[in-house]
Copies of this chain bind each other. A is one copy, B any other.
Amino acid sequence: MCELLGLSANVPTDICFSFSTLMQRGGRTGPHKDGWGISIYEGRGARSFHDPRPSVASEVAELIRRHAIKSKIIVSHIRRANRGRVCLENTHPFSRELWGRSWVFAHNGQLRGVKRYPLGAYRTIGSTDSEHAFCWLLSRIRERFPDKPADARALWKFIAALADELATLGTFNMLLSDATHLYAYCNTHLHWLTRRAPFGPARSIDTGELVDFQDFTTPHDIVTLVASRPLTDNELWHAMSPHRLTVWRAGLAVAGVAGGRVET
């Protein structure tokens, strides 16, 4: 299994503190030693860093940790390989272009038989179930919406239905972004937390490191984190409901979709 970490914020925010915690789980406090990746949006594009080596030993991970690259949307993943060999091609997040935007995808879980799902415009480069699921999902979105739909709710409902279908094949916890929204689909476990004023201290579960976000924020900042497991032990993390897609924009949940119904 793997661990996911996502960020949605209304101001460019660095993810160093959370990323440091996650990185520890890549071979030190966790078993996720088969690579890691992070996609950091800038505009409609995303800068991605991938490394098939354990995150805890990665020089690139260290660089990202040290040099805080700020963004309003970040998707990260550390991998414990279950299907597909350990190599760059199989390292999440995966990305493809749709509607002139980079879409980025990371997955936790296994999907039995997903490779029988026919692909459309997007094909897999590596051999993972996860990338196949992403290519199928994005192919379906593209078939249904050749152009970006004016009605965002129709898109959100469609993404949730596709995620529900994938979840029938096994375990499907997902982070997805279209450069504006962060989508999180919870199948078995995903947690979220929104930090906003008054900001206070946070303590990393894995490193014990303490940071006071009051020192780094303005009263207007809104920062939401989504993670497989809570990253701090002194803040209130919310467990997401299974089979629910939550849509964040600029740090705020703008919609939830469950059972075919969109709640905004």
Contact = CB atoms under 8 A, between A and B. Distances in A.
Contact of A87 (B43, B96, B123): B43
Contacts of A83: none
A123 B99 contact: yes
A202 to B, nearest CB: 26
Given A48-B48, A63-B63, A42 B89 contact: yes
Contacts of A67: 59
Contacts of A123: 97, 99-100
Nearest to A64: B60
A121 B121 contact: yes
Contacts of A99: 123
Nearest to A60: B63
A88 B69 CA distance: 12
Contacts of A126: 43-45
A50 interface: yes
A34 to B, nearest CB: 15
